[in-house]
Chain A
């Protein structure tokens, strides 16, 4: 039989029982739509998490003090700090791949304003900090190179601190006392929300690191050095570069371990996105079960259809149809039903994903592979579950089929 004839015969019998075809198809439609929606939601969650991690700072690299070992007893991270402002200066001079560097000096202190007081984290950083953390201003300005060099007592507030200290006045130009040192507020940063650790990223006061060291800490070491590259691809190479510069700066011999640790956001992002990937897979697997159930529905209906059309099969065989002709006819029919169901399912799936996105505010995304997979899988379901009934039909004895009432 010609292909066009086969398709025509299949369409005819599909259209003959519109309601039944529709209901059979519905199983596949729901299955495919469920897979698409689940995958879309999963991918949406994944890209949301990636975005959140990205908000910590794009392409950020962190250099932290290494672990020290005293007589074989490892003291753990941050116990042996050899990071200095000189390391920072050397890095800034020699690094080719890193576009922005900032040392970070931490301290916790009580901040006092005319309106109130608030215990918060004070971070001494350089002017590059804003670039590295990708953190724009809400009002006012960040401190400048001149402020840094002049060791000026200026500060930029996180939004939580600004709210606590200056509830009803414009903080810009006001004074804040930190450890009895008066700082002038230059501006307030935009609200960033929670950081990856679940802490309030806006509960912070930012000052020039020079000022922090001389006025607040009195220490020469820096707690961290953070850096960023202009593109994410440069991150691994930049990490290597920072490592070699720091080893030279710390005069480490070839066999010595690093006395610092370098980490980047990618590692954190990868861990988080692999979690969501597993979630997406799980959701898709659950949704696939409904596809399977839809397939069984097709098989059921095809079996009924074979019984119902036994006589038709007999007629076809009497006038010269081979078993293979009958087999193909029924197979084409079940594949057509499941493929059509698959396509409708894709359309409904996309609509469903859009609705979920609209009501939850998540950004959903359906990768094209998921669509191909869903449609391909539904076609496979058609072949798999259509084969048995089709073979039943093909193996009918024409005499008995003709006699069937």
Chain B
């Protein structure tokens, strides 16, 4: 028991350039979660190399991985993963509390700015339970952005949201990407993946497809269309 090695991923060769917005697609069990964990420095490959912003990740200690996550990565999860009974502002402040670089920053002000960036400037003192799902995900995005990470990793960011809110979140991602932020979105929904610039499909631990998105959609435009539709109805 437990002796059998399962290679969730095999022969993966993936290069992500600065400023890209990539959708990683795949069915459950395809290995996309493992890929995501590896990209997110939560897991290290048993063989092969992973370079993040010039740093060789495999072979780093647990503490070095933690620091790398803190400095270079921003996470957005399906279940939002905010600390309950903690205000939006304090949630966003959290990554900066674990910063070991020793630089002095006004964490409060930075957190506030980050919340304004995702359109929640007026809800800084609200607790997660007082916010809608879309708003909670925005708080999570603000938390991911506050450290100015190299990559923003979103694992099924719209999985718990209704379709309209999903498009809103994707619109926010597109907006942030336009500002130069590199974004990786893991999803199994083609409707969501089509907002990315590039699509990577994983199946059985291998990359099946890696190409620029055909018919890339503009989330902001889709939202406007939705609003118009509702008004006419």
Contact = CB atoms under 8 A, between A and B. Distances in A.
A278 interface: no
B62 A322 contact: yes
**For the side of the interface on B, what is the size category?**
20 to 34
B70 interface: yes
A18 to B, nearest CB: 12
Interface string A291-333: 0000000000000000000011011111111111100000000
Interface string A388-399: 000000000011
Contacts of B43: 399
Nearest to A320: B70
A56 interface: no
Interface stretch (B50-58, B95-103, B178-186, B219-227): B95-103
A325 B98 contact: yes
Contact of A323 (B62, B77, B81): B62
A318 B40 contact: yes
Interface residues of A, number: 22
A319 B98 contact: yes
Interface in A1-48: 1-2, 5, 12, 16
A311 B98 CA distance: 17
B37 interface: yes
Most buried by A among B43, B75, B97: B97
Contact of B67 (A1, A316, A322, A399): A322
Contacts of B85: 12, 16
Contact of A318 (B62, B67, B75, B86): B75
B66 A317 contact: yes
B143 interface: yes
B69 A319 contact: yes
Contact of A315 (B37, B66, B81): B81
28 contacts: A1-B98, A5-B97, A12-B86, A311-B81, A314-B81, A315-B82, A315-B83, A316-B98, A317-B66, A318-B40, A319-B75, A319-B95, A320-B67, A320-B69, A320-B70, A320-B71, A320-B95, A320-B99, A321-B66, A321-B70, A321-B98, A322-B63, A322-B66, A325-B98, A398-B42, A399-B37, A402-B42, A402-B77
Interface of B: 37, 40, 42-43, 62-63, 66-67, 69-71, 75, 77, 81-83, 85-86, 94-95, 97-99, 143
Interface of A: 1-2, 5, 12, 16, 311-312, 314-325, 398-399, 402
Interchain residue pairs A-B with the least CB separation, the first 4? A320-B70, A320-B98, A319-B95, A322-B66
